[in-house]
Structure 1
């Protein structure tokens, strides 16, 4: 497939309380398989996905325009145009973007597209499980769900 232009793609929108953003899945539109890339736009005063990290996928962020902050591995850093941040596939890669400015914040988010993956949400004590297609993938998943992290059962229970 040849080049795609983001202006030709429709925005998808997520609006769940303080989590509010628009997204264009660039890699999907270009038939990418091993590498995901999305354009995000956060309106003033809103946040990206809840604070999380992946156990099977490395991610990165590159700020195209605007300013904001990022919570990264428990610390908060300022973000501005031209900033690049890498998120390792472990607890140290925990992150959440916040637009605490007066204008929109636009950035590219890039990710490996490995599956299976477990996404950990430390603030809510939940985990997300993805098998058959990675987070952000377009294939049907054989396993997908969100669970309380403490809902641990013994392997032999119910036998």
Structure 2
């Protein structure tokens, strides 16, 4: 371990493993949080062959980026699907034009760094499942104990602004 709280040695950090259904499975080390970063997140990610980490989504407040370290994958980006490989850097500015999802279509583990600004509140939109997520108090990927709001809703849940209000 490092003698300074803002310096971490990646091999010393534990992996968090997430599996959700047959297609979602990833390993993650939250480097930014471990080094007590405040406005910039960074995670070391690993995807097994045939898996992805997150649904197609975009942020309205936060910018993300990927640096592919090893393996190959397919990046769904907006209306395009692009191959990615070691050495590729992908910028994902906020907004619908950057809707993205990374899939491992190779035969070996896809390893990459995922960077994100840590702005809150944020809204994430999931075009495939027609949902949105609103988070406040802590940025997505931030300290869950600090969240003051976290909700996932279908886009069809929209109501009139004055609905339910006394007039």
The TM-score with structure 1 as length reference comes to 0.97
SS of 1:150's equivalent in the other structure is: helix
State yes or no: 1:5 paired with 2:5.
no
Q: Following TM superposition, by how much is the alpha carbon of 1:2 offset from its aligned partner in structure 2, in angstroms?
A: 4.2
Q: Which runs of 5+ in 1 are unaligned?
A: none
Q: Structure 1, residues 49-90: CA drift from partner, whole Å, max 9, x if none? A: 000000000000000111111100121111110000001100
Q: Which runs of 5+ in 2 are unaligned?
A: none
Distance (Å, rounded) in 2 between the aligned partners of 1:147 and 1:153? 12
Work out which of the residue numbers 88, 95, 102 in structure 1 matches 2:93: 88
Greater C-alpha radius of gyration: 2
Aligned equivalent of 2:146: 140
Between 1:143-152 and 1:2-11, the stretch displaced more is 2-11
State yes or no: 1:153 paired with 2:159.
yes
The TM-score with structure 2 as length reference comes to 0.93
**Runs of 4+, deviation exceeding 2 Å:** none
Q: Structure 1, residues 128-152: CA drift from partner, whole Å, max 9, x if none? A: 0001101001152111010001211
Aligned equivalent of 2:78: 73
Q: Is the CA contact 2:118–2:142 (under 8 Å) kept in the aligned structure 1?
A: yes
Root-mean-square deviation (CA, aligned residues, Å) is 0.9
